[in-house]
Amino acid sequence: MKVFSIVIVFLLSLHLSTAFLVPRASLSLHFRQTGQSSLYATLTEVLEKISPLGPLRVILVPPGASSILEATVDSSLWGTKINTTPSGKTLLTASLPDKSFELHLDVNIATTATLGKSPKTGGPVVKILDSADAALITLLPAKSKSEQFEDLLTKYGSKIKLDT
């Protein structure tokens, strides 16, 4: 086991030392060994992969479920950017150019993205989860884009660990 760990550390350091030679697009959504095979990506990469599958239904159910916020957005038009707030939080913002829709997610709180089929609608569903596997936000791609979503699900699997 110790030899395996040393080989993994060597390969990881080799990967990190040569990463600047690899175009950014080829680095997105990649496998990294961490004791078990897990898919890693940034939150930005996940949202960029699903943005063509819109319009997206965006659902937010806050703790306590005293309210629910739902909105539909043409996600193919949104842009994404990372900002640090004055309080030090690092937020991913996905917004339309006219600012009629803005989604802000704390990249340090979002730890996992799951892809699957909604038991309620039968269509595609993406959930962004925190470290306790509580849903921060639910995204429902268009049912008409189910085939493209299935391609993503086949390629990347149902669970993606989020890197910051």
Express each pLDDT in 100-149 by its tens digit. Answer: 999 999 999 999 999 999 998 899 999 999 999 999 999 999 999 999 99
Same domain, 82 and 135: yes
Same domain, 67 and 148: yes
Same domain, 64 and 11: no
Q: Into how many domains does the chain fold?
A: 2
Same domain, 131 and 159: yes
Same domain, 19 and 64: no
Whole domain around residue 137: which residue ranges?
A: 41-163
Same domain, 91 and 146: yes
Whole-angstrom distance, CA of residue 128 vs CA of residue 59: 11
Same domain, 28 and 100: no
Instruction: Supply the pLDDT for residue 38.
Output: 57
pLDDT digits (tens, 9 = 90+) for 47-60: 999 999 999 999 99
Instruction: Supply the pLDDT for residue 148.
Output: 96
Our measurement of the distance from residue 82's CA atom to the centroid of its chain's CA atoms, rounded to an integer in Å, reads 14
CB atoms within 10 A of CB 134: 11
